[in-house]
A and B are shown apart, each in its own frame.
Chain A
Amino acid sequence: MSREYLRFSVNQRLQHLFMFVPFIILVITGFPIKYPDSNFGTMIFSAIGGIGSARLIHRIAAAVMILDFGFHIIYLFFNIIVNRLPFSKLYLLPNKKDAQDIVKNLKYFLFLSDERPQFHKYSYVEKFDYWAVFWGMFIMAGSGLILWFPEEFTQLVPGVVIQIAYIAHSDEALLAFLAIIIWHFYNVHFNPRVWPANKVWYKGTLTEEEMEHEHPLELEEIKAREEGE
């Protein structure tokens, strides 16, 4: 049996769980309001008990998601400050190599080259997912809270902020939903190389073959470190 490499800790896997379960609930309870004439929305609302329940469920799910995101921020700082892990060692920031990888990958896709880019812990695809959620959380939680407490917020900010929050919440919701259902689901489910699903989100580990194929630079580094020890 080949060796298993830990990719996501239990903590990280739970963070993902507490992000995507509220996400699904927020989509189900939010989109029927974005599209008030849709029959699909009517079906959903009659199943969950109408707009009153939907608003309540939406806000509970939002609170869970915001807490999860808040936990993630604390988790990041905890790793950087307490565990003294340099930010660069989290491998999260986009860099020059990501740009080169995109070009390399596009050439590979177009049969212009047979060389696939070699990824470290996170490919540019995964970094995009991570930062898209990061940006989305600020937009969605920020605008959502303004729409939840409009009178309180306008003690401080002008009324046009409510309107901007309304546009941002509605439009960013669509972008986030499309990015997840098309991009993220392709990369972790529908991609024929991955189909039916990438199980790392609950298993947390990758096999040696998977590591070689998807994260060869990280594998190299792990092996070099082990030899050094």
Chain B
Amino acid sequence: MARMTHKPNLHLILGILFVFTQNVRGEQADAENCFLCHDLTSFILMENPNTLRNFEVTSTSYQHSTHRNVICRDCHTDINQFPHPEAVQKVDCAKACHVTKPFALTGYSHTDQRDAHAISAHGANLNYSKEKNDSKPGCKYCHDNSFRNIIEDEVLTASSEHCMRCHEGSGLAGVILHVSSHSAHRSASASIKVVELCSSCHADESRMQNFDVNLTQVGGYQNHFHGKALKRGMDNVANCMDCHRNHLNLPADDPNSSTHPNNIQMTCSANAYCHSNATAKFSAAAIHSKPTPTDNPIAFFVEWGFILLTAGTMAFLFAHILLDFGRWAGEAWMRRKKS
């Protein structure tokens, strides 16, 4: 008994949660019978001859989605009559809904995330035009809440290792709290999806042209340890969010940024699965910038030194081989001619 540890068994917890959440799935959500119409295939409104709006929400898909326990009007708050008004407000993710927080009696809302996002690099900037601010990602850009696509259970299994990286250390209660909310929401995404999502803007020249964003960062990540290991299936390496935060993304020159030189060591060493013994020097290593002669001359010249060394050596070796072979072939040809 003395050898027993308090390390929680994630799979056991997930298993228990799975069993206990089966009977509530999807029943609450359609208390107001919205699916009577919205479940119809091709439930489409023709607004004018050129624009079709799709209002189809298949019940089976919705019941497998993140929000399957949230009734429709919790988010679509201004739809109070039937037939519905033509112009309706966009959904506000910071509204509290009927779902209560695990271990709390308050209504669940995404206020914390919304507030963090608002002051992050992705939030609206007063100096920017409306178009420019609108081109920044809001909640739904990243959380596309794809209730039209059934989220496979594998997604969560594949990334449970990734979740445990941060949340193993916070005790059993912390794990239950976290895992229950995530298994209920099914919003955990595999790291490779996170990188894909961030890259969809940060590696896209046309989308980034109005912003002061370094386009080489995505390529730099893909060509460095984390990116390469991730491509080869190591799900527990750092993805974009692990270092740059999920909602409070700030540029590295902001003193509150997780990647600011004063904070980067804390970010690298934040949990046992990463670099818990990261030194300040370790954390200062550039991990996804391409070395340039001005900001990283040593690495730049080492890189070029190897390119020249490899090219030069191989050119000499190739020439030597070809000439050697040429002599042999020439002699063989001459012998044949003689005989």
Residues of chain A within 8 A (CB-CB) of B233 are 45, 50-51
Assess the A154–B281 pair: CB atoms within 8 A.
Answer: yes
Q: Would you give the shortest CB distance from B296 to chain A, in whole angstroms?
A: 7
Assess the A109–B279 pair: CB atoms within 8 A.
Answer: no
- From B5-13, B73-81, B223-231, the one touching the partner chain is B223-231
| A179 close to chain B: CB less than 8 A | yes
From A174, which residue of chain B is reached at the shortest CB distance? B310
Assess the B313–A159 pair: CB atoms within 8 A.
Answer: no
Assess the A186–B285 pair: CB atoms within 8 A.
Answer: no
Q: B282's contact among A154, A183, A193, by CB below 8 Å, is which?
A: A154
Residues of chain B within 8 A (CB-CB) of A45 are 232-233
Assess the A171–B232 pair: CB atoms within 8 A.
Answer: no
Q: Would you give the shortest CB distance from A166 to chain B, in whole angstroms?
A: 7
Residues of chain A within 8 A (CB-CB) of B324 are 109, 186, 191
Q: B309's contact among A32, A147, A154, A175, by CB below 8 Å, is which?
A: A175
Q: Would you give the shortest CB distance from B316 to chain A, in whole angstroms?
A: 9
Known A37-B231, A111-B330: A151·B317 in contact at CB below 8 Å: no
| B299 close to chain A: CB less than 8 A | yes
Known A154-B279, A168-B306, A171-B310: A163·B299 in contact at CB below 8 Å: yes
Known A160-B285, A171-B306: A182·B330 in contact at CB below 8 Å: no
Report the interface size for chain A: residues with CB under 8 A from the other chain: 45
Residues of chain B within 8 A (CB-CB) of A111 are 327, 330
Assess the B224–A160 pair: CB atoms within 8 A.
Answer: no
Assess the B330–A155 pair: CB atoms within 8 A.
Answer: no
| B234 close to chain A: CB less than 8 A | yes
| A178 close to chain B: CB less than 8 A | yes
| Complex Cα–Cα for A175 and B321 (A) | 16
Q: B310's contact among A41, A52, A147, A175, by CB below 8 Å, is which?
A: A175
Consensus secondary structure, chain A interface = helix
**0 or 1 for each of B288-321: is its CB under 8 Å from A? (1 = yes):** 0001000010110011001101100110011011
Assess the B281–A158 pair: CB atoms within 8 A.
Answer: yes
Known A36-B228, A168-B302, A179-B317: A110·B310 in contact at CB below 8 Å: no
Assess the A36–B234 pair: CB atoms within 8 A.
Answer: no
From A106, which residue of chain B is reached at the shortest CB distance? B323
Q: Would you give the shortest CB distance from A109 to chain B, in whole angstroms?
A: 4
Report the interface size for chain B: residues with CB under 8 A from the other chain: 46
Q: Would you give the shortest CB distance from A159 to chain B, in whole angstroms?
A: 3
| Complex Cα–Cα for A34 and B330 (A) | 40
Assess the A32–B285 pair: CB atoms within 8 A.
Answer: no
From B322, which residue of chain A is reached at the shortest CB distance? A109
Assess the B328–A171 pair: CB atoms within 8 A.
Answer: no
Known A166-B224, A166-B225: A175·B306 in contact at CB below 8 Å: yes
Residues of chain B within 8 A (CB-CB) of A154 are 278-279, 281-282, 285
| B284 close to chain A: CB less than 8 A | yes
Assess the A151–B323 pair: CB atoms within 8 A.
Answer: no
| A172 close to chain B: CB less than 8 A | yes
Residues of chain B within 8 A (CB-CB) of A162 are 282, 285
Assess the A163–B285 pair: CB atoms within 8 A.
Answer: yes
| Complex Cα–Cα for A151 and B314 (A) | 35
Can you identify 20 A-B contacts, CB atoms within 8 angstroms? A32-B232, A33-B228, A34-B228, A36-B231, A45-B233, A50-B232, A109-B323, A147-B225, A159-B284, A159-B285, A160-B286, A160-B296, A163-B291, A164-B298, A166-B225, A167-B299, A171-B306, A174-B310, A179-B314, A191-B328
Taking A50-B233, A160-B285 as given, write out 7 further A-B residue pairs in contact, using a Cβ cutoff of 8 Å, ordered by the A residue number.
A33-B232, A150-B275, A163-B287, A163-B299, A164-B302, A179-B317, A182-B317
